[in-house]
A and B are shown apart, each in its own frame.
Chain A
Amino acid sequence: MNLFGVMETSGSAMRAERVRAEVVAANMANAENTRTESGGPYKRHHLVFAANQPNLNFGDSMHTVHLGSLDQDHVQPEGGVHIAGVFEDAGASLKRYDPGHPDAGPDGYVAYPDINPLTEMVDLMSASRAYGLNSSAVQAEKGMITSALDIARS
């Protein structure tokens, strides 16, 4: 058991929340995007989080933790969180009547992504709050490590 492992756990969450904020930003940036490589309008992206395999006894957690592994995306510290995947929304796109639009169908309707700025903002706010929560946890862990260093000093 070591204190740096606690930091890795919080770090994994900060990384996951940052990716979530990026996905929200991408969704909002493409809210009016009617043209994609795969054809059709942009589809809203969903991010799914999954808990890392928990190690309930803590005894053999020492080997999973090593310094400098925070910047490697594939590392999954036990007890932390990872991104299970980014999925496209399966729902139908929004139809708006605009016959003059270059992407309008034969019926004069243009397919727009079904993106609601309100849900995106709520998601962004929640991601930012969770990021802040985990960063304050890192702050607390730093305080603990600093105080542990005081043992040697006298």
Chain B
Amino acid sequence: MQVTTELGEHLARYLDLSVNEAKVTASNMANIDTPGYRTKGFDFGSEIAKAFDSFEDPRSHLVNMHEVDGLVSRPDGNNVSIDRESLHLAEAQLKFRTGIALLRLENQRVMDAIRADK
């Protein structure tokens, strides 16, 4: 018998990636005053497509990180932007909450099926 659904698996990967996004953003925020620090990030769209296509454990999935360009550098070589990071954190938070809401619905669906005879 199988109680985990395909949507559940996908949502797990989605949640994992949104936590990664929050982590990268928090790390950029933490280094807002570090001289020479460059903003890091990854492309959520291509990473989620990669995660959905792979059959391996989502936790072993490696995120392709890169330095974000197109940001204005300060004289000390740091290019962290408060606005960009705040926006990304809010975005990651919303993605995470969306994933949680969908996962709860999915679990509810499975529970309904289990209790269908009552």
Contact = CB atoms under 8 A, between A and B. Distances in A.
Nearest to A56: B65
Interface stretch (A12-20, A36-44, A94-102, A106-114): A12-20
Contacts of A16: 30, 33
A141 B25 CA distance: 11
A44 B24 CA distance: 34
A78 B113 CA distance: 43
Interface string B75-118: 00000001001100110010011001001100110010000000
B19 A9 contact: no
B104 A154 contact: yes
Contact of A13 (B29, B90, B93): B29
Interface residues of A, number: 41
B30 A79 contact: yes
A6 B26 contact: yes
B33 A20 contact: yes
Q: How large is the interface on B (under 10, 10 to 19, 20 to 34, 35 or more residues)?
A: 35 or more
A92 interface: no
Given A20-B33, A59-B59, A54 B27 contact: yes
Nearest to B76: A49
**Chain A interface, DSSP helix/strand/loop, else mixed:** helix
Contacts of A50: 34
A10 interface: yes
Interface in B15-40: 16, 19-20, 22-27, 29-35, 37, 40
Given A140-B22, A151-B100, A13 B65 contact: no
A148 B26 contact: no
Contacts of B20: 1, 58
Given A6-B23, A137-B89, A140-B89, A49 B31 contact: yes
B62 A59 contact: yes
B100 A9 contact: no
Contact of A140 (B35, B37, B40, B93): B93
A79 B27 CA distance: 5
Contacts of A150: 100, 104
Interface of B: 16, 19-20, 22-27, 29-35, 37, 40, 59-63, 65, 82, 85-86, 89-90, 93, 96-97, 100, 103-104, 107-108, 111
Interface of A: 1-3, 5-6, 9-10, 12-13, 16-17, 20, 48-51, 54, 56-59, 78-81, 126-127, 130, 133-134, 136-137, 140-141, 143-144, 147-148, 150-151, 154
